[in-house]
Amino acid sequence: MKVKGQKRQDILKYAGILFKDKGFHNTKMDDIAVAAGVGKGTLYEYFKSKQDIFDEACIEYVELTIETIQDVSNMESTFDEKLLALFNVKVKMESEFENIIIDNVLSWKNIMSEKTVKTIIKKISEIYKLVATIIDQGKEEGVVVKNIPSEIIACSIIGTMSEYLVYNIKNKDNEIKENDLIIDLLYNGFAVK
Amino acid sequence: MKVKGQKRQDILKYAGILFKDKGFHNTKMDDIAVAAGVGKGTLYEYFKSKQDIFDEACIEYVELTIETIQDVSNMESTFDEKLLALFNVKVKMESEFENIIIDNVLSWKNIMSEKTVKTIIKKISEIYKLVATIIDQGKEEGVVVKNIPSEIIACSIIGTMSEYLVYNIKNKDNEIKENDLIIDLLYNGFAVK
Amino acid sequence: MKVKGQKRQDILKYAGILFKDKGFHNTKMDDIAVAAGVGKGTLYEYFKSKQDIFDEACIEYVELTIETIQDVSNMESTFDEKLLALFNVKVKMESEFENIIIDNVLSWKNIMSEKTVKTIIKKISEIYKLVATIIDQGKEEGVVVKNIPSEIIACSIIGTMSEYLVYNIKNKDNEIKENDLIIDLLYNGFAVK
Amino acid sequence: MKVKGQKRQDILKYAGILFKDKGFHNTKMDDIAVAAGVGKGTLYEYFKSKQDIFDEACIEYVELTIETIQDVSNMESTFDEKLLALFNVKVKMESEFENIIIDNVLSWKNIMSEKTVKTIIKKISEIYKLVATIIDQGKEEGVVVKNIPSEIIACSIIGTMSEYLVYNIKNKDNEIKENDLIIDLLYNGFAVK
DNA sequence: AATGAATGAGTATTCATTCAT
DNA sequence: CATGAATGAATACTCATTCAT
C-alpha cells in the first residue's frame, strides 16, 4: 500500500468532495473511482478500505483548516484584522466542506475509526490553541480583556461564528465587515453599559 | 391499560436513541424492533419505512426542544435567570440527543426527506423566535442593548452555548453558574472598556 | 374448520376472481378478506391456508365448467347445435376465468397441491368424456365418422376451440355461427376432396 | 476460451429451466445463481432484476420456437411432411418448456413486463405467419382447400396439436406418424362424407 | 364465532472487497 | 502497477398465519 503520490492525493480530494456532498454511506467506492479517474481496484492499492479513505479525508480536511487558520495567525496584522479574517476564512471553509467534521466529531464517532477520532480531537485542540494565540495577541495589544482565559474566548468566537453562518446560510457570499453587529456583539456583549 | 398510540411513541423513542447513538445507516430495523420490544413487522404497522421513522424521530426531537425552550420562556423569571436556564437546559438536551439534527439539517439533507427538512427548518426558526422573545424581555428589563436585533443576539447565545458544551464535553454534569466567565463574555464581550 | 356455508362460498367466489385477475402470488389474503367482506382471521375459520383456498377455488371452477358442459350435453338438441353451444359456452367461460387452470394443470403443479392436481386431472377427463358423449350422439345421428375414437375428436374440437379463442382474442363478444369457417374446418378438414 | 456473452446465455438458460419447473415466484435468485454456476451478485451484472431475467428468458424461448418452426418451413419437403414435422417438433419443444408462455401470454401479464408482453405477442404472430406459409405451400401443392384463410387453418392445426399433446401426455416419446388418426382428422374433419 | 394487531420467516438487491489477468 | 468482473454477506421490507379479545 502506497502512502504517497499524486494519485493518492487525487483519490482523497475527490472522495472528500463526495463524502461532503452525499455522506459516507451514500458515497460508493464506484463513485470515488470514477471521480478520481482510476479503476476501482486501484483504490485498494492506496487505501485499506472505504473507512480508511474516509478517515484520511477527514484528517486531510482538518489539517487544511489548521493550515488556513495558521495562515491567518501568521499574518502581519492587528488582532482586529485577524478576527475578521478568521470569520471570512471560515465562511469559505464552511462552503467547501460544511461542518460535518469539526462540529460533529462526536456524532460521527460511529463512522470514523476510534483512532481517527482521537487524532482529530487532538487536531481540533490545535485549532483552539491557534485561535487562542490570536486572542493572546489581542490581549497584548490591549484590546482584549485579560481576566478571561483565551480558550474560553475562542469558544465564544468559534461558536458565534458557526451559528451566524447557519443563520446567514442563504447569503453565503456575504463578507463580514468590521462594523457588522455580530462583531460588535463579540467585542462588547449585549449588556447595557 | 395502554394508551392508544403508545406503541408508536415507544418505537419513536427507542429509534431516536439508536439513531443518535449509531447514526441512520448503522441502525438496523432489527435493532429498533428489539429496543422497542416489538416484532419487526410491527414497525411497518406504524411507519411506512425506516426513512419515515427517522423523519418522525427528528421532528419529535425538535418539537421536544421547542417545548423545553418554551418552558424556559414561560418561566416567571428575569432575563438573567432565563438565560442561565437556557444554558443548563441545553446541556441536558445535548446529552440526550447531541446536536445531530439542529446543527446539521443541511448536511443531513440526503437522509431526511425533502419534506421533513423543510418542516424542521421551519421549526428551528421557531426556536430562534423563542430565544429572541427571551432577549426582548431582557431589552424591556433594560439589561440588553436595544440596537442589535434580538435574532442576532440569539445567534451569539446559541452558538456560544453549543461550542462551550463541546469544549466542556468531559464535565457534562457541571452546571453553568451565573458568575461563569462564559456568561460574562456574552454580557460584556471581550473588549477592554 | 367449517366445510359448508354461504360465507365459505363467498370467500371461494371472490378468491377465484382475484386469483384469475392477479395470479396466486399477487393475490394477498388481505385482498381476499376485503373482497369477501370478512375479517382476515375468518379466512382461517373456513380454510387451512391460502394454498387451500386456491385449490378449492380451482376445483370449484372445474366443477362449474363440467356443469356447464353437462348442461350443453343435456340439451334437447342435435349434435350440430350442441357443438355450436360448446363453442359459445367456452367463450363465456374463458372470459370469466381464462384458461389458467384447465389448460395448465401441469404447469401449475407447483402451486396446486399434488392432491388437487390429481383431483383436477380426474375431473378434466370427465370433461373429455362429456364432450365424447356429445360426439357419440353425432355418430348416432350419422353426421360424425365412426372410425375415429370420440376422445380424439374431442381433442381436435377442444384444441381448435381454445386456439381460435386466443386468435380471436380481441373480439371476445363475437359469437361463433354455424357457418363459420372454423366449424367447416372441424367438419371437413382442410384436405382438397 | 469463453465466448463473450456466454455467461449471460448460461444464466438465461438455467433460469428458463427453473422458471418452467417451478414458476416465477418459486424460483429464487439463489437457485438461478447456483444452477448457472455463478455468484448471486453476478446475476445483477448481466440483468437489472429477476423480472428482467424472466422477461428475457421468455423472449429467448419464443425465439427458439420461431427458429425451430422456421427450420421446418425451410425444409425441402412436401406440405404433408412439414405438417408431420411440425407436430413432432412441437412435441420436443413442449417437453422442454411446456406451454407456459405461448398459451398464456395473457394470463401472465402481471408477471411479464408490459413491454415484454407486447414483444412476445408480436413474435407469436410471427409463428402464425410461419405456419400459414407452410399451409400456403399445401394450397399450392393442391392438397389444402383454398377457401379457408391459412391463419384459421393454422389455428386448427396448432390448437389440435397442443391439445393432443396434453391428451397424450403420458406417452411423450411417441412420434406422430402420418397415418395417425389425429392427422386424418385435420385433413378430413369428422363429418361423414 | 369473528376479528385484526402482532409477528418473523423468507428474499431481492446492494456494494465493499478480492484477485486473476 | 492497474484493473474491473465476480462475489456473497448483509438488510429493508412483505405477507401468511396466529391468537388474545
CA angle B76, B184, A187 (to 5 degrees): 120
Q: Is the CB of A51 under 7 A from strand E?
A: yes
pLDDT at B106: 41
Over residues D106-128, the mean pLDDT reads 73
Distance CA A102, CA D94 (A): 68
pLDDT at residue B93 tops 70: no
CATH of the domain at C132: 1.10.357.10
**C-alpha grid cell, residue B59:** 421532528
CA angle A186, A187, A192 (to 5 degrees): 95
Distance CA D55, CA D46 (A): 13
Please tell me which residue lies nearest to nucleotide F15, judged from CA to C1'. Answer: C28
The reply to whether C68 and C39 lie within a common domain is: no
Over residues B8-15, the mean pLDDT reads 94
Q: Is the CB of A38 under 7 A from strand E?
A: no
The reply to whether B26 and B76 lie within a common domain is: no
pTM: 0.83
Are B126 and A189 in contact by the 8 Å Cβ rule? The answer is no
Are D11 and C11 in contact by the 8 Å Cβ rule? The answer is no
Give buried/exposed letters for B119-135 (b at 16+ CB in 10 A, else e).
bbeebbeebeebbbebb
Do the domain assignments include residue B193?
no
pLDDT at C79: 92
Do the domain assignments include residue A64?
yes
pLDDT at A140: 94
Average pLDDT for chain C? 82
Residues D146-187 have pLDDT tens digits of: 989 998 898 888 888 878 877 775 555 567 676 678 888 888
The reply to whether A149 and A132 lie within a common domain is: yes
The residue that leads in pLDDT, B177 or D131, is D131
Residues B30-43 have pLDDT tens digits of: 999 999 999 999 99
Distance CA C153, CA C147 (A): 10
The reply to whether A16 and A71 lie within a common domain is: no
Contacts of D7 (CB under 8 A, 6+ apart): D36, D38, D42, D46
pLDDT at C41: 95
The residue that leads in pLDDT, C15 or C24, is C15
pLDDT band at B135 (very low <50, low <70, confident <90, very high): very high
Which nucleotide lies at the shortest CA–C1' distance from D28? E11
Over residues C133-150, the mean pLDDT reads 92
- The range of the structural domain enclosing residue A26 comes to 1-47
Which residues fall inside 7 Å of strand F, measured at CB? A 2, 5, 7, 33, 38-42, 44-45; B 27-30, 40-41, 44, 49-51; C 25, 27-30, 40-41, 44, 49-51; D 7, 38-42, 44-46
CATH of the domain at A18: 1.10.10.60
Do the domain assignments include residue A193?
no
The reply to whether C61 and C39 lie within a common domain is: no
The reply to whether A39 and A58 lie within a common domain is: no
Over residues D73-87, the mean pLDDT reads 91
Do the domain assignments include residue A43?
yes
pLDDT at residue B91 tops 80: no
Distance CA D122, CA D126 (A): 7
The reply to whether D38 and D74 lie within a common domain is: no
Residues A137-183 have pLDDT tens digits of: 999 999 999 989 998 899 888 888 878 877 775 555 567 777 778 88
Q: How far is C139 from chain D (nearest CA, A)?
A: 9
Q: For chain C, what percent of residues have pLDDT higher than 70? A: 81
E strand or H helix at A137: helix A114-141
The reply to whether D39 and D129 lie within a common domain is: no
Distance CA D105, CA D93 (A): 17
- Which residue reads 432489527 in cell numbers? B30
Distance D146 CA to F13 C1' (A): 60
- Domain-ending residue, one of D32, D47, D62: D47
Give the amino acid at A77. Answer: S
Distance CA D174, CA B37 (A): 63
The number of domains in chain A is: 2
Give the amino acid at D111. Answer: I
Are B101 and B120 in contact by the 8 Å Cβ rule? The answer is yes
Residues C34-85 have pLDDT tens digits of: 999 999 999 999 999 999 999 899 888 888 888 989 999 999 999 999 998 9
Over residues A75-88, the mean pLDDT reads 90
Are D155 and C160 in contact by the 8 Å Cβ rule? The answer is yes
Distance CA C164, CA D155 (A): 6
pLDDT at C162: 79
Over residues C144-152, the mean pLDDT reads 89
pLDDT at A1: 67
pLDDT at D20: 79
Which nucleotide lies at the shortest CA–C1' distance from B44? F13
Contacts of A135 (CB under 8 A, 6+ apart): A79, A144, A150, A153, A154, A157, B190
The reply to whether D1 and D54 lie within a common domain is: no
Q: Which chains touch D (3 or more CB pairs under 8 A)?
A: C
The reply to whether B116 and B152 lie within a common domain is: yes
Do the domain assignments include residue D171?
yes
Contacts of D173 (CB under 8 A, 6+ apart): none
pLDDT at C182: 82
Q: Which of C154, C134, C156, C138 is nearest to C146 (CA)?
A: C138
The reply to whether C153 and C94 lie within a common domain is: yes
The reply to whether C122 and C168 lie within a common domain is: yes
pLDDT at residue B98 tops 70: no
CA angle B145, B149, B150 (to 5 degrees): 80
